[in-house]
């Protein structure tokens, strides 16, 4: 990637904030399962909650490659903060991609400034990897809709100010019968569970959401039946951002492994002198480099406006699986110390595990890739 001068300045500011403010709070955020409100507020002060948006709608006009690098920097500092940030991006992407100018004007500038926080509600208890199975319904009711149903594992869902929700408006039309809506916090009939207790990304809260709401027609994102198409485009963006998150954490793990190998002595020799350690370090470096190249490729393609579903799926698949292996090897190189909470290795291993599941599991990514390659 070769960011412009503007991109470089913005990235420098974000990286500095991540080093000085977000990274020092990461361990406590995880230990206390604390939603990263202060970290998001600090990012909002740099305009980072609108990094995915064009200037016309309150964003800084950052390039797609620079956006990927920004997400990487936040994830390297704190996975939970990156998870909350990218969930917000999914919500605003849905409005940017599928909404009309009136809806964009209503939500996007405030979301970009950090005045309001978003969530993206697609997954259901019985419709995870296949959104076409969703049971959430939006039925015409006078001049609006009656939205009913349940969404599950929704990042930011219980703390967000607005949620982009996907529901079936025409049960006989398959995926073409899915529409998208904006539901605001405080809407009568909307409720959120307490946050789920999760293995990793403990500060990046996920919720079950229930809806029995009446919504005005103006809350619909785009025409009826356009929701599935909008969701798939949003997920292409999200998969690049997941790959970038994986890169950030994997880079931190690899750097920690290199430092450990250079500093730790066993039997009078540095760990780095042992061939077994050298091979582990080499394999980690190759996987990390391949993940970076795939992610850069997908981010560049996103910036051109051409279709990039294949590149996004490849980047997400490889980066998520490679990062998990890199963090596990880094923990192994640290021995028993890596297994303690005194070091971040075990947190990185836990945080990375979900990356092979959300925004489309590894199995779904393989299906997407195969369909593109087979035509």
Kindly state the tokens that stand for 202.
């403990």
Average pLDDT, the chain: 96
pLDDT digits (tens, 9 = 90+) for 232-260: 999 999 999 999 999 999 999 999 999 99
Q: Catalytic annotation on 217?
A: no
Q: List pLDDT tens digits, range 320-330.
A: 999 999 999 99
Average pLDDT of the residues in 285-296: 98
Residue 181's DSSP bridge partners are: 165, 220
Q: What is the pLDDT of residue 291?
A: 98
What digits encode the pLDDT tens for the residues 94-139?
999 999 999 999 999 999 999 999 999 999 998 776 766 899 999 9
Q: Once rounded to an integer, what is the mean pLDDT over residues 314-318?
A: 98
What pLDDT does 226 receive? 98
Q: Where are the beta strands (DSSP E) in 235-342?
A: 265-266, 269-270
pLDDT score for 3:
52
pLDDT score recorded for residue 258: 98
How far is 16 from 74, CA to CA, in rounded Å?
10
Over residues 325-350, the mean pLDDT reads: 97
The CATH number given to 235-374 is 1.20.140.10
What is the architecture of the domain spanning 119-228? Beta Barrel (2.40)
**Intra-chain end-to-end CA distance of the chain, in Å:** 29
How many angstroms separate the Cα of 292 from the Cα of each of 124, 236, 275, 284, 311?
32, 17, 26, 12, 12
- Domain 5-117 class? mainly alpha
Q: Write the pLDDT tens digit of every residue in 151-187.
A: 999 999 999 999 999 999 999 999 999 999 999 999 9
CATH 2.40.110.10 in the chain: give the residue spans. Answer: 119-228
Domain with CATH 1.10.540.10 in the chain: 5-117
Q: Exactly one of 72, 241, 251, 359 is catalytic; name it.
A: 359
Residues of the chain with CATH 1.20.140.10: 235-374
Q: What mean pLDDT do residues 329-346 have?
A: 97
pLDDT of residue 1: 45
User: pTM for the complete prediction?
Assistant: 0.96
Mean pLDDT (whole number) for 195-202: 98
Burial 343-361 (b: 16+ CB within 10 A, else e): bbbbbbbbbbbbbbebbbb
* 348-352 average pLDDT score: 98
DSSP string for 45-103: HTTGGGTTS-GGGTS----HHHHHHHHHHHHHH-HHHHHHHHHHHHHHHHHHHH--HHH
Confidence of residue 6 (pLDDT cuts 50, 70, 90): confident
Residue 212 has pLDDT above 80, yes or no: yes
pLDDT > 90 fraction of the chain, expressed in percent and rounded: 93
pLDDT tier at 336, thresholds 50, 70, 90: very high
Mind spelling out the 3-state secondary structure of 317-330? Answer: HHHHHHHHHHHHHH
Kind of pairing, strands 190-192 and 269-270? unpaired
């Amino acid at each position: 990637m070769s960011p412009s001068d503007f991109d470089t300045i913005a990235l420098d500011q974000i990286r500095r904030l991540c080093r000085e403010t977000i990274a020092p709070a990461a361990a406590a955020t995880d230990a206390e399962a604390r939603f990263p409100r202060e970290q998001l507020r600090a990012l909002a002060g740099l305009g980072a909650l609108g990094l995915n948006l064009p200037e016309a709608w309150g964003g800084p006009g950052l390039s797609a490659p620079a956006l990927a690098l920004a997400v990487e920097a936040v994830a390297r500092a704190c996975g939970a903060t990156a998870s909350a940030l990218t969930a917000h991006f999914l919500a605003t992407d849905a409005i940017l991609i599928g909404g009309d100018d009136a809806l964009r004007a209503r939500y996007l500038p405030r979301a970009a400034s950090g005045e309001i926080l978003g969530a993206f509600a697609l997954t259901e208890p019985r419709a995870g990897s296949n959104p076409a199975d969703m049971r959430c319904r939006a039925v015409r009711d006078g001049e609006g809709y009656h939205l009913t149903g349940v969404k599950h594992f929704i990042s930011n869902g219980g703390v967000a100010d607005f949620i982009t929700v996907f529901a079936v408006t025409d049960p006989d039309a398959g995926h073409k019968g899915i529409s998208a809506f904006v539901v605001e916090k405080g809407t009568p009939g909307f409720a959120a569970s307490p946050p789920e207790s999760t293995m990793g990304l403990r500060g990046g809260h996920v919720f079950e959401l229930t809806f029995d709401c009446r919504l005005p027609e103006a809350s619909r994102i785009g025409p009826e039946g356009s929701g599935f198409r909008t969701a798939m485009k949003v997920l292409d963006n999200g998969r690049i951002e997941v790959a970038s998150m994986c890169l950030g954490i994997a880079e931190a793990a690899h750097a920690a492994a290199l430092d450990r190998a250079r500093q730790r002595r066993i039997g009078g020799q540095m760990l780095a002198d042992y061939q077994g350690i050298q091979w582990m370090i080499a394999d980690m470096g190759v996987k990390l480099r391949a993940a970076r190249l795939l992610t850069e490729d997908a981010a560049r393609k996103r910036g051109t406006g051409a279709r990039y579903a294949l590149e996004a799926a490849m980047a997400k698949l490889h980066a998520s699986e490679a990062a998990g292996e890199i963090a596990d090897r880094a923990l192994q190189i640290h021995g028993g110390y890596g297994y303690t909470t005194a070091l971040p290795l075990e947190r990185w291993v836990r945080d990375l595990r979900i990356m092979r599941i959300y925004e489309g599991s590894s199995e779904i990514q393989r299906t997407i890739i195969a369909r593109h390659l087979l035509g």
